[in-house]
Structure 1
């Protein structure tokens, strides 16, 4: 099912609440890093809607050893509101680049965006991003910003994922 921009905007405008309290589950992956995810349907008008959901994915900083040198991979955050399989709004943070297509006619067309950025549903689906300036770049701050911009309440508020501890040597 492909949404129109108007349909996506209408879903974002609705008051939503997550159906479950925040609980981070370990997400299987092939890298040495630990990825965590919180995924829940949303309630709209007190009705749980399985077709509208909130998802947050987080990976903390982690060390990688290359040629006996240790480098730290930076934190990764992706939080979004989905309608069926469509990511209609998200705030992401990564030190890798997001590349926008050049032929969209949108303000950041053809540009590479790095750091905190917003994906909002357009006629190009979720592939277009714009930079977002936040004074606090943390998982909690990004989830709170997404909650405000998407009109979504997190049941029982923010809960941190499990802390990561790495050996010193």
Structure 2
């Protein structure tokens, strides 16, 4: 009987912890996608919209041919308020196709991918198909997917996608972690 009370208590605590209100919000100043290999892309568009105190991103990509070879380099830098120097939070290189296959095993990117899955029109997997419209609709970083405490400051991420050892896409994001107002 004590075990069942203990288990119920753990579930109640987990539910309370997951419902705690975050004291911050994520704001994107800039979101840009630049594609470098026009022989691969039929279309590449993105827009950043500020609505109801949140930043939303819409993006669409159509490929001219299948892409089975995908490598990713991701960098994130962070500046605390009034700091002159930045902190590099990560600088990683990963096989993009392996990352898509083992999404739940890579904790570093798991919350990004969880967020992408909510807003993508398809489950991403290799090979990426030609003549298919890959879309992200009203994508945002949900603060509830992040830890309870995230420091205030400014961040920049650069994510580069390579195929056949050529830089195909560079995604640049500037943003802020602001107090919730």
Q: Name the TM-score, length of structure 1 as normaliser.
A: 0.26
User: Which is greater in Rg?
Assistant: 2
Question: Which one has a larger percent strand, Structure 1 or Structure 2?
Answer: 2
* Highest RCO, 1 vs 2 (Cα 8 Å, sep ≥ 6): 2
Q: Name the TM-score, length of structure 2 as normaliser.
A: 0.24
